[in-house]
Chains A and B, each alone.
Chain A
Amino acid sequence: MENPRHWRLKKQRYALVGEICPHCAVKIFPPRDVCPECGLEAKTSYQFSGKGKIYSYTKMTDGPAGFRQNAPYFVALIQLNEGPMITAQLTDVGDEEIKIGSPVEMVTRKLREDGDQHGAILYGYKFRPVLQEVSA
Chain B
Amino acid sequence: MREVAIFEIGQTPVSEHWDKSLLELAGEPVLQIFEKTGMTSAEAIFVGNMLSGSANRQLHLGAYVADWVGAKHSGAVHVEAACGSGGAAFRAALMAVASGDVETAIAVGVEKMTDSPSADISSELAGASDADYERDMGLSFVALNALLMRRYMEEYGYRKDDFAGFSINAHANGVNNPNARFRYPITAEAYAKSAMAADPINILDASAMGDGAAAVLLVPLDRIADRENAVKVVGSGAATDAIAIHDRRDPLWLSAAELSAKKAYRQSGLTASDIDLFEVHDAFTIIEALSLEASGFAERGTGARWANLELISPHGKLPLATMGGLKARGHPVGATGIYQVVEAALQLRGEAGPNQVPGARIAMTQNIGGSGSNVYTHILRR
Contact = CB atoms under 8 A, between A and B. Distances in A.
Q: Do A and B bind each other?
A: yes
Given A60-B143, A75-B143, A65 B138 contact: no
Contact of B138 (A9, A36, A73): A73
Please give me the 7 A-B residue pairs with the lowest Cβ-Cβ distance, nearest first: A58-B146, A64-B123, A85-B246, A56-B151, A65-B123, A67-B138, A64-B122
B190 interface: no
A56 B148 CA distance: 7
A43 to B, nearest CB: 18
B148 to A, nearest CB: 7
A100 interface: yes
A62 B202 CA distance: 12
A59 B119 contact: no
Contacts of B185: none
Contacts of B126: 64
A85 B151 CA distance: 14
Interface in A114-130: 122, 124
Given A56-B147, A57-B150, A86 B138 contact: no
B138 A70 contact: yes
Interface residues of A, number: 36
A122 B132 CA distance: 12
Interface string B297-333: 0000000000000000000000000000000000000
Interface of A: 5-6, 9, 12, 30, 36, 55-68, 70, 73, 75-77, 84-89, 100, 111-112, 122, 124
A124 B154 CA distance: 29
Given A64-B119, A87-B137, 5 more contacts: A56-B147, A59-B198, A60-B142, A84-B246, A87-B134
Interface string B134-167: 1111111011001110110010000000000000
A30 B122 contact: no
A58 B196 CA distance: 10
A87 B246 contact: yes
B199 A59 contact: yes
Contacts of B246: 77, 84-87
B247 interface: yes
B136 A111 contact: yes
B121 to A, nearest CB: 9
Interface in B224-262: 244-247, 251
Contacts of A60: 138-140, 142-143, 198
Nearest to B148: A56
Contacts of B147: 55-58, 75-77
A65 B119 contact: yes
B123 A66 contact: yes
A114 to B, nearest CB: 11
Contacts of A30: 132-133
A61 B123 contact: no
Contacts of B196: 59, 61
Interface in B250-303: 251
Contacts of B142: 60
Nearest to B146: A58
Given A60-B140, A75-B139, A88-B137, A65 B151 contact: no
A55 B143 contact: no
26 contacts: A9-B132, A12-B132, A55-B251, A56-B147, A58-B143, A58-B147, A58-B150, A59-B196, A59-B198, A60-B139, A61-B196, A62-B197, A63-B138, A63-B140, A64-B122, A65-B120, A68-B119, A75-B139, A85-B246, A85-B251, A86-B133, A87-B139, A87-B246, A88-B137, A100-B151, A112-B136
Contacts of B197: 61-62
Contacts of A56: 147-148, 150-151, 154, 251
Nearest to A80: B246
Contacts of B146: 58
B249 to A, nearest CB: 8
A5 to B, nearest CB: 7
Contacts of B247: 36, 85
Nearest to B242: A36
